[in-house]
């Protein structure tokens, strides 16, 4: 990241610092606590905290909590957990302090009075329908509200009544008095305060009027001394209002707003409202379901914070909207795990092999073999794997069909040889069937002196396969995930994203057999299960008796886009 060219925001900041426009930068990440953070928020987090880190500034985590109806403490806690997990510590000693827009309600109220006193705000009693009609359209100017010319004294009295709960919700609002003919609709006397007779998670019953996003946001930035307030492109049209409010209020600082393109990922929905619907309708098991594009879901799935940061760096920060291929995120995850995840063996669909000459070579009991935890990172150490008379291999790694070419089937064929990863070369001698005629086991023999050694001439293993000891392993459940949606743009115009769900986004395999070292697996650690993919222990369903592993991602990209 140090070597790529500066993005447009980094260029602006570099110039602002060079010409002394600011001494140190302050950015902010301002989620509304009405849901869990998703991959789009990850982009904003990497951008805002990343700038603070790079330019020696700070980034405020600000809960934009001006609408009590949809907000909850659960979301606040989850957001802090996710930001910190992303690698950006919050609070003392960190890059960031935690702020709440709701802490500014008193000051915002004073600023509302200041506007009223200066004849720049009024209490409007138009119904929502009337207000919409008066607002006009993109091509037609709006009309002045009949309440626009109320006196300062009347507005002060009415606003006081609003505050005291004397009006019902929706009966009136406080509006800025700007210009009903403005080309930018956001300047047509925008709403500053509305009535919500609802307790707030931070301020309890103190208020029944709440500031709008527009009235709270820029002023919050000013209170906190934010220098660069970076939001997504949809807010470009709000910038004139942002600037009008700062110019017309006695604020302590003058932050500047900049806009960048939000992250849109194909095969994904990134709207908290829609993600909440998936949770509420139990289409997924929770906000952190491993198929969710939430930070918590991706963490539970086994994505690493480093991979998410790498992805955000790869996609960059621009001013033009575009859709990013989900394959790019998957690439970043696979690349990180390939580099860092310890290797282990796990057989998903077990087939028993009995090595009839095992004792002859190794005596009674297990033969312990050693395997490096990572093929090219010796510092990750080695692990001991019990090799025993009875082992499991995957059902798909054995066939009785002797006609398959060596090229086509690099696994175990009846009458032929294969190497067991880290252990001996074996030969499949005979299939044992149960009463129904199904394969119950395969009897094999091992070739002497082939652990870590080439077999004698004439013995040609078809390939190397993974295996686990049948007598010294751990039975586990495996959860295989695929994309939650099978439509590249599930919420594109008019489409119902609930109709685009991939019916096979979750496959549960029970009775898988993992190498015994995986009894030590911990939540948060990723593993490469050799030849199967990357896996991590599931934090929700794992029990003392039964580990559950989530497949984070396969070894290869199986999606043709
Ligand atoms: P949603 O649309 O999912 O409800 P939001 O934008 O309403 O998201 P906020 O909690 O208000 O969610 O967003 C907090 C910050 O995250 C904002 O600064 C917003 O610009 C940024 N953000 C949200 N979604 C994205 C995205 N897809 N890409 C980049 N930044 C985003
Ligand atoms: Mg929002
Ligand atoms: Mg939004």
Residue 167: which CATH number? 3.90.800.10
The CATH number of whichever domain residue 494 belongs to comes to 1.10.1160.10
Q: How far is the CA of 41 from the centre of ligand 1 (A)?
A: 6
Q: Kindly give the number of the ligand 1 atom that is closest to the alpha carbon of 275.
A: 3
Hey, which of 27, 39, 43, 44 would you mutate to test ligand 1's pocket, going by the most ligand atoms within 8 Å of its Cβ? 44
Is residue 256 included in any domain, yes or no?
no
Domain limits at 481?
A: 262-343+474-561
Residues 410, 267, single domain; the answer is no
Q: How far is the CA of 31 from the centre of ligand 2 (A)?
A: 7
The CATH number of whichever domain residue 409 belongs to comes to 2.40.240.10
Backbone angle region of 143, left / alpha / beta, with phi > 0 → left and psi within -120 to 50 → alpha: beta
Nearest in space to 439 (alpha carbons), one of 512, 367, 349 = 349
Domain boundary among 404, 439, 466: 466
pLDDT at position 559 is 63
Q: Which residues of 239-275 are buried (b: 16+ CB within 10 A; e: fewer)?
A: bbbbebbbebbebeeebbbbbbbebbbbbbbbebeeb
Residues 489, 430, single domain; the answer is no
Is residue 196 included in any domain, yes or no?
yes
Residues 504, 436, single domain; the answer is no
pLDDT at position 2 is 56
Q: Kindly give the number of the ligand 1 atom that is closest to the alpha carbon of 32.
A: 10
Distance CA 16, CA 36 (A): 34
Distance CA 194, CA 170 (A): 7
DSSP lists the bridge partners of residue 426 as 418, 446
Nearest residue (CA) to ligand 1, atom 14: 31
Q: How far is the CA of 331 from the centre of ligand 2 (A)?
A: 29
pLDDT, tens digit only, all 561 positions of the chain:
557 899 999 999 999 999 999 999 999 999 999 999 999 999 999 999 999 999 999 999 999 999 998 999 999 999 999 999 999 999 876 678 899 999 999 999 999 999 999 999 999 999 999 999 999 999 999 999 999 999 999 999 999 999 999 999 999 999 999 999 999 999 999 999 999 999 999 999 999 999 999 999 999 999 999 999 999 999 999 999 999 999 999 999 999 999 999 999 999 999 999 999 999 999 999 999 999 999 999 999 999 999 999 999 999 999 998 899 999 999 999 999 999 999 999 999 999 999 999 999 999 999 999 999 999 999 999 999 999 999 999 999 999 999 999 999 999 999 999 999 999 999 999 999 999 999 999 999 999 999 999 999 999 999 999 999 999 999 999 999 999 999 999 988 888 999 999 999 999 999 999 999 999 999 999 999 999 999 999 999 999 999 999 999 999 877 654
Residues 460, 366, single domain; the answer is yes
Domain boundary among 466, 485, 508: 466
Is residue 99 included in any domain, yes or no?
no
Within 8 A by CB and 6+ apart from 264, the residues are 40, 270, 321, 322, 323, 324
Q: Which pair of tokens denotes residue 237?
A: 């049209």
Q: Kindly give the number of the ligand 1 atom that is closest to the alpha carbon of 271.
A: 3
- The answer to whether 465 touches 531, Cβ cutoff 8 Å, is yes
Within 8 A by CB and 6+ apart from 453, the residues are none
Residues forming the annotated binding site for ATP?
32-34, 38-44, 232, 262-263
pLDDT at position 494 is 84
Nearest residue (CA) to ligand 1, atom 9: 31
Residues 447, 513, single domain; the answer is no
Residues 460, 516, single domain; the answer is no
Hey, which of 27, 31, 70, 239 would you mutate to test ligand 1's pocket, going by the most ligand atoms within 8 Å of its Cβ? 31
Instruction: Please state the domain count of the chain.
Output: 3
Catalytic residue from among 54, 81, 262, 274: 262
Q: How far is the CA of 202 from the centre of ligand 3 (A)?
A: 22
Is residue 30 included in any domain, yes or no?
no
Domain boundary among 182, 197, 213: 213
Residues 362, 440, single domain; the answer is yes
Distance CA 148, CA 134 (A): 12
Q: Kindly give the number of the ligand 1 atom that is closest to the alpha carbon of 272.
A: 3
Q: Kindly give the number of the ligand 1 atom that is closest to the alpha carbon of 263.
A: 28
Pairing of strands 533-537, 548-553: antiparallel
Residues 460, 538, single domain; the answer is no
Please classify residue 356 by burial: count the beta carbons closer than 10 Å to its beta carbon, then call 0-12 exposed, 13-18 middle and 19+ buried: middle
- The answer to whether 126 touches 119, Cβ cutoff 8 Å, is no
Residues 116, 190, single domain; the answer is yes
Q: How far is the CA of 32 from the centre of ligand 1 (A)?
A: 8
Ligand 1 site residues (CB inside 6 A) read 30-32, 40-41, 43-44, 64, 231-232, 262-263, 270-272
Distance CA 552, CA 549 (A): 9
Residues 188, 300, single domain; the answer is no
pLDDT at position 536 is 98
Residues 337, 367, single domain; the answer is no
Nearest ligand to the CA atom of 63: 1
- DSSP 8-state class, residue 240: H
Q: What SS3 state is found at 353?
A: strand
Pairing of strands 228-232, 58-63: unpaired
Is residue 329 included in any domain, yes or no?
yes
* Catalytic (active site) residue 513: no
Nearest ligand to the CA atom of 270: 1
* Catalytic (active site) residue 32: yes
Nearest ligand to the CA atom of 37: 1
Nearest ligand to the CA atom of 40: 1
Residues forming the annotated binding site for L-glutamine?
64, 213
Is residue 157 included in any domain, yes or no?
yes
Is residue 91 included in any domain, yes or no?
no
Q: Kindly give the number of the ligand 1 atom that is closest to the alpha carbon of 44.
A: 30
Catalytic residue from among 28, 135, 272, 389: 272
CA dihedral 382, 388, 390, 392 (to 10 degrees): 10
Residues 305, 403, single domain; the answer is no
Nearest residue (CA) to ligand 1, atom 22: 41
Hey, which of 232, 233, 269, 277 would you mutate to test ligand 1's pocket, going by the most ligand atoms within 8 Å of its Cβ? 232
Is residue 331 included in any domain, yes or no?
yes
Within 8 A by CB and 6+ apart from 22, the residues are 16, 227
Q: How far is the CA of 43 from the centre of ligand 1 (A)?
A: 9
């Amino acid at each position: 990241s140090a070597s790529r060219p500066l993005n447009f925001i980094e260029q602006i900041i570099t110039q602002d610092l060079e010409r002394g426009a600011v001494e140190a930068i302050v950015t902010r990440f301002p989620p509304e606590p009405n849901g869990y953070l998703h991959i789009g928020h990850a982009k904003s987090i990497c951008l805002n905290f990343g700038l603070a880190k790079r330019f020696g500034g700070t980034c405020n985590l600000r809960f934009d909590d001006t609408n009590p109806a949809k907000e909850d403490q659960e979301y606040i806690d989850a957001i802090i957990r996710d930001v910190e997990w992303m690698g950006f510590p919050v609070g003392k000693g960190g890059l960031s302090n935690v702020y709440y827009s709701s802490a500014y309600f008193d000051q915002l109220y004073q600023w509302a009075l200041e506007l009223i006193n200066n004849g720049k705000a009024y209490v409007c009693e138009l119904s929502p329908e009337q207000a919409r009609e008066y607002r006009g359209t993109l091509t037609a100017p709006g009309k002045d509200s009949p309440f626009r010319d109320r006196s300062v004294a009347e507005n002060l009295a009415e606003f006081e009544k609003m505050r005291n709960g004397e009006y019902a919700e929706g009966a009136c609002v406080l509006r800025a008095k700007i210009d009903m003919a403005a080309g930018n609709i956001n300047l047509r006397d925008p709403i500053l305060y509305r009535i919500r007779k609802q307790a707030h998670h931070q301020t309890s019953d103190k208020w029944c009027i709440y500031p709008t996003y527009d009235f709270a946001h820029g002023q919050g930035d000013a209170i906190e001394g934010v220098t660069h307030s970076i939001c997504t492109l949809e807010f470009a049209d709000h910038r004139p209002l942002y600037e009008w409010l700062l110019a017309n209020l006695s604020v302590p600082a003058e932050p500047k707003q900049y806009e960048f393109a939000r992250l849109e990922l194909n095969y994904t929905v990134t709207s908290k409202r829609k993600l909440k619907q998936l949770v509420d309708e139990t289409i997924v098991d929770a906000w952190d379901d491993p198929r969710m594009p939430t930070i918590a879901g991706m963490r539970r799935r086994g994505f690493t914070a480093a991979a998410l940061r790498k992805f955000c760096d790869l996609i960059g920060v621009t001013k033009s909207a575009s859709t990013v291929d989900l394959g790019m995120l998957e690439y970043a995850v696979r690349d990180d795990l390939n580099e860092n995840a310890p290797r282990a063996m796990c057989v998903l669909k077990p087939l028993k092999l009995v090595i009839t000459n095992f004792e002859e070579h190794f005596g009674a009991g297990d033969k312990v073999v050693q395997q490096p935890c990572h093929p090219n990172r010796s510092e990750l150490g080695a692990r001991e794997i019990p090799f025993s008379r009875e082992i499991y291999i995957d059902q798909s790694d054995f066939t009785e069909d002797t006609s398959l070419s060596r090229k086509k089937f690099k696994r175990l064929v009846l009458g032929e040889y294969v190497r067991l990863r880290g252990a001996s070369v074996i030969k499949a001698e005979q299939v044992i069937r149960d009463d129904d005629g199904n394969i119950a086991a395969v009897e094999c023999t091992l070739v002497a002196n082939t652990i870590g050694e080439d077999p004698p001439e004439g013995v040609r293993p078809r390939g190397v396969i993974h295996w686990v000891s049948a007598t010294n392993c751990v039975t586990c459940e495996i959860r295989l995930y695929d994309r939650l949606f099978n439509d590249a743009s599930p919420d594109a115009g008019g489409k119902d994203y609930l109709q685009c769900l991939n019916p096979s986004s979750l496959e549960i395999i029970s009775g898988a057999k993992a190498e015994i070292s995986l009894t030590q697996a911990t939540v948060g650690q990723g593993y490469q299960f050799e030849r199967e993919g990357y896996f991590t222990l599931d934090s929700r369903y794992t029990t003392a008796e039964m580990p559950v592993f989530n497949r984070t991602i396969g070894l290869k990209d199986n999606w043709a886009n």
